């Protein structure tokens, strides 16, 4: 079938809407008519060939939501007409997946970053029959239709608003999951969250929903910091003009119990650790541009734990529906992060995300007609 997809032709180039050919879904695959897709920092990282890029030309997009059009013969738990959110790819069969750790699947790279199916075949082609790299996070959902594997298609309630649900499949579940699944913070506890983009603000909301009583947001963007208070932050620190360690110790003389880092920066991570109470726990989410360097001698007697976190340590079939219920109950207002754009304005939406004008850009792909 012919679809419209946003294609990146070369490293760092703009997204260009083009007609491409999409094969029928294979036996374990699902064809989804995309309603909306979130834009995530990882899309830009792949576009710029920083990490995990499958080569060019490529169709990116990995926070898709839509309605199933058809399913392969070996898909039995989903059917045409189901409303779904698409998440990351995983095999579901290896020992890591079987123990509830699917974000660390042995085949994670092949199913999310290889640019093809696990067997190397392609289901996207140009009109000359040449393959286009695809299967980004097992979906490539910057397109009017996407093919996903049955494992990463999550059925959601029909009454839930599909036009905003896509980001739950990656960025939002990553931030929220770091708090709820990884750190498992306790009622009445304290947490510092570094970076107030979509992932960090999802962590703020999750901390509030988990009944943390001291939630400290750290950033250099004062507007974002002010907004974080609307979502649950009890304190904010602008690290451009405040000493982070001194401010946290002024708030909590014995130190903070938990931390989430979305920056990947050595100075930020070391400031967080220096602010910890003994046996503090840190979840690191941010993509780093240089190796981590830690003041290990200072921290040696503190018993700190650092966990590197992918996809919020979530089992998406369970966690995404829980986040939707929390949203419906008013406990997790992630909709406040979202600004929507028409599909044809994808490059503007990307630019607004990169420059911090929009917290979470979402493309209204289902409205596209051309």
**Residue pLDDT, tens place only, 125-142:** 998 999 999 999 999 999
Exposed/middle/buried for residue 42 (C-beta within 10 Å: 0-12, 13-18, 19+)? buried
Structural contact between residues 361 and 38, judged by C-beta atoms closer than 8 angstroms: yes
Lookup: tokens for 294 = 């830690």
Q: Which residue has the higher pLDDT, 298 or 19?
A: 19
Interval 225-243 mean pLDDT? 98
Q: Which residue has the tokens 């239709």?
A: 145
The predicted structure's pLDDT at residue 292: 86
pTM, rounded to two decimals: 0.96
* Whether residue 370 has pLDDT greater than 70: no
The predicted structure's pLDDT at residue 279: 96
The predicted structure's pLDDT at residue 52: 60
Interval 275-298 mean pLDDT? 89
Q: Please give the domain boundaries of the chain with CATH numbers for all domains.
A: 2-169+333-367 (3.90.180.10), 175-310 (3.40.50.720)
**Residue pLDDT, tens place only, 48-86:** 877 665 789 999 999 999 999 999 999 999 999 999 999
Q: What sign results for the dihedral spanned by CA atoms 361, 310, 48, 124?
A: negative
**Residue pLDDT, tens place only, 149-194:** 999 999 999 999 999 999 999 999 999 999 999 999 999 999 999 9
Q: Which residues contact 322 (CB under 8 A, 6 or more apart)?
A: none
226 pLDDT tier (thresholds 50, 70, 90) = very high
The predicted structure's pLDDT at residue 286: 81
Distance of CA 111 to the CA centre of its chain: 16
The four Cα atoms 251, 254, 255, 256 give a dihedral, to 10 degrees, of: -80
The predicted structure's pLDDT at residue 219: 98
């Amino acid at each position: 079938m012919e679809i419209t997809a946003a294609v990146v032709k070369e490293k760092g180039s703009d997204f260009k809407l083009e007609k491409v050919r999409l094969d029928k879904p294979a036996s374990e695959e699902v064809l989804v008519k995309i309603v909306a897709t979130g834009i995530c920092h990882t899309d830009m990282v792949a576009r710029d060939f920083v990490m995990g890029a499958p080569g060019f030309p490529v169709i990116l997009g990995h926070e898709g939501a839509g309605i199933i059009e058809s399913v392969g013969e070996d898909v039995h738990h989903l059917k045409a007409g189901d409303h779904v959110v698409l998440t990351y790819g995983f095999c579901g069969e290896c020992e890591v997946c079987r123990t509830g750790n699917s974000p660390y699947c042995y085949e994670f790279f092949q199913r999310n970053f290889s640019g093809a199916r696990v067997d190397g075949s392609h289901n996207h082609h140009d009109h000359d029959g040449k393959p286009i790299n695809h299967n980004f996070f097992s979906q490539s959902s910057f397109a009017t239709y996407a093919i996903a594997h049955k494992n990463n298609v999550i059925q959601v309630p029909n009454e839930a608003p599909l036009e905003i649900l896509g980001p739950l499949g990656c960025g939002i579940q990553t931030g929220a999951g770091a708090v709820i699944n990884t750190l498992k913070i306790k009622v009445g506890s304290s947490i510092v969250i570094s970076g107030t983009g979509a992932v960090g603000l999802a962590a703020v909301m999750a901390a509030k929903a988990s009944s943390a009583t001291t939630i400290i947001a750290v950033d250099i963007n004062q507007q974002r910091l002010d907004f974080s208070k609307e979502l649950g932050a009890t304190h904010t620190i602008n690290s451009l003009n405040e000493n982070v360690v001194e401010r946290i110790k002024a708030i909590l003389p014995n130190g903070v119990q938990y931390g989430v880092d979305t920056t990947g920066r050595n100075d930020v991570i070391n400031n967080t650790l220096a602010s910890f109470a003994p046996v503090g726990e840190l979840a690191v989410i941010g993509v780093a541009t240089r190796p981590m360097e830690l003041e290990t001698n200072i921290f040696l007697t503190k018993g700190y734990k650092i966990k590197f976190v992918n996809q919020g340590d979530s089992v998406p079939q369970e966690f995404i529906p829980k986040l939707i219920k929390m949203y419906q109950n008013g406990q997790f207002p992630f909709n406040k992060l979202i600004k929507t754009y028409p599909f044809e304005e994808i490059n503007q939406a990307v630019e607004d995300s990169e420059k911090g004008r929009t917290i979470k850009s979402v493309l209204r792909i289902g409205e596209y007609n051309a």
